[in-house]
Amino acid sequence: MNTQTSAPTVQTIDIQAKEWFDKINGNSYFAGLITVNFGMPTEKRYTMPFQYGYGSQYEQEAREILINKGLIPTKDSYELRQSGIIIRSSIQRNCKKRELKEFV
């Protein structure tokens, strides 16, 4: 009899991020929330802290967090979608710095 428990199967990954542009220094920063299995009994949430990055960096950071948590085996979004995992991501640009702190 196998009593070993495994991590819940990932069915959906939702990534929500906000971006702030520091006009004085010319740098972009983001923070965000990752929700795994949104609306399901196995739903889990992870935050992406305030950090430097622009473009799709928030998606790359989300993947790294999920890999480190042992929830996904690969860095390739295409492979995840091919395996049936639904991935939704969005970023709200031109936010105020204080809005990024809301994810903490």
The answer to whether the CB of 1 falls within 8 A of the CB of 25 is: no
**In this predicted model, what pLDDT tens digit does every residue of 12-35 receive, in sequence order?**
999 999 999 999 999 999 999 999
User: What does DSSP say about strands 27-36 and 44-52: parallel, antiparallel, or unpaired?
Assistant: antiparallel
**Total-model pTM:** 0.85
Give the separation between CA 88 and CA 104, rounded to whole angstroms: 21
* Token code pair at residue 21: 């542009």
From first to last of its 104 residues, the chain has per-residue pLDDT tens of 444 445 568 999 999 999 999 999 999 999 999 999 999 999 999 999 999 999 999 999 999 999 999 998 876 666 776 778 889 999 999 999 999 988 76
Could you tell me where the DSSP H helices lie in the chain? 57-68, 77-82, 97-100
